[in-house]
Amino acid sequence: MLTIYCISLYKLILLLAYKIPHLLELGINAVELLPIFEFDELELQRRPNPRDHMINTWGYSTINFFAPMSRYASAGGGPANASQEFKQMVKALHSASIEVILDVVYNHTNEADDPNPYTTSFRGIDNKVYYMLDDKGQLLNFSGCGNTLNCNHPVVMELILDSLRHWVTEYHVDGFRFDLASILCRGTDGSPLNAPPLIRAIAKDAVLSRCKIIAEPWDCGGLYLVGSFPNWDRWAEWNGKYRDDVRKFIKGDSGTKGSFATRVSGSSDLYRVNKRRPYHGINFVIAHDGFSLHDLVSYNLKHNEANGEGGNDGCNDNFSWNCGFEGETDDTSIRALRSRQMKNFHLALMVSQGIPMMLMGDEYGHTRYGNNNSYGHDSAINFLLWDQLDARKGDHFRFFSNVIKYRLGHKIFSHENFLSENEITWHEDNWDNYESKFLAFTLHDKSGGDVYLAFNAHDYFLKVLLPTPPTKRRWYRVVDTNLESPDDLVLDGVPGIGKTYSIAPYSSILLEAKF
């Protein structure tokens, strides 16, 4: 049962190994590293442009598919040291039972576009083979980065497969997340394929058969394949619909209760096809691109002025809510509401069927001050700030880590198959009420250790009648996000819960049936 932690590895190979105790304390058992293949760190500074003050810190500009970023080695140690230290890091993480998943970029390279070509490799070898071109010989751009790798050409396909096998056999990584993976589903002319040869080959490859393979099932050309990514019952997907539907419900949008229920119960509308299971959906509220969790509840609008593009970059559809004030504030009531909302999001994520993924820094409430496209900032905006983590160890971090550990200790949240009627009861007769923003349900355990969950996205208190607990058991309160730390989460549970419970505005509860 994975809990994925999405992390930027910028200049951190050995440092990450030293920070394993933090990952273990948080409850993480898998890290997804942003691109670590050798990439063009200074691509934004080739020529005068509005972004030439920035550095590519996220790594989405691949130069070499077979080597770790040389400048990730300690003290600028070079490619040999980078390779050796990366192996040491993977070994250390594996020793702590933490899997390593690489974010890989096979959709484009650093060789830019036609107006500003930057020939470093494939464009000088065989442009027509390695890149998708239109009928005039111009580069097609489904990546948003000027070029598109010709992934399903036999030569390019073999290059990608050799690269993947190399990282498994030489570096012993456990899996891959494929950036803009819908591009891998396009033919040599850019048209979508129903059975892409590369996707099938990765799924069927003998070396890659033991790996996790995760698609980001969309691209910048509009090919959106969430729930319909060609999969051969092997490919998992970043569940973008989970992100959007959960954001909308928790912030209080009307008419979203049914979608929220579908998402937390495993997105069967997307993944109950052939032999697919709930774990083929990677659930997330926050990823590296977009708002951090803190900013999701602190900003209605993106604030990307520092990127130099006049605020035109970054996603506009954030489904965020600033809780009454845009940006940082000393207002205690707004700060309390934001804290509650972050807990609500985290609880929803960790009780959902499927694989949860969270972003580095959300465990202490990291802010990028409203920047939802921070790819080019080599600064605190993208760093994990250990002093802030230490300052919030007793409240925010405590809640986040204990919710993860509660999930790991209860298999009821990670069913192998989609939930049957005997495994979940919806306490709901109001599905068609557009204005209803309350959802409650019970997950049933064969041994009787049922779990009751309720989410109130209304701006007022709701007094609810609790279901009768299993025979000889009674309800214990484990979570109430409206309470102050440490009462907001008590792993052993608090007894004395009556037949009703008053649930505060914008809050959620978790009760466990115990003897």
Residues designated catalytic: 179, 216
Query: What 3-state DSSP class applies to 289?
Result: coil
Strand partners, 479: 489, 510
Assess contact for 253 and 231: CB atoms under 8 A: no
Other Cβ atoms less than 10 A from the Cβ of 420: the count is 9
Which positions ≥6 away from 99 have C-beta within 8 Å? Answer: 2, 29, 30, 31, 93, 174, 175, 212
- DSSP conformation class of 485: T
Query: What 3-state DSSP class applies to 101?
Result: strand
State the Cα–Cα distance between residues 238 and 240, nearest whole angstrom: 6
State the Cα–Cα distance between residues 167 and 212, nearest whole angstrom: 13
Pinpoint the alpha helices (H) of 306-395: 332-351, 386-391
Q: Letter for the amino acid at 159?
A: L
Assess contact for 317 and 268: CB atoms under 8 A: no
Assess contact for 63 and 132: CB atoms under 8 A: no
State the Cα–Cα distance between residues 482 and 476, nearest whole angstrom: 16
- Closest listed residue to residue 441, CA positions, set 461, 412, 416, 403: 412
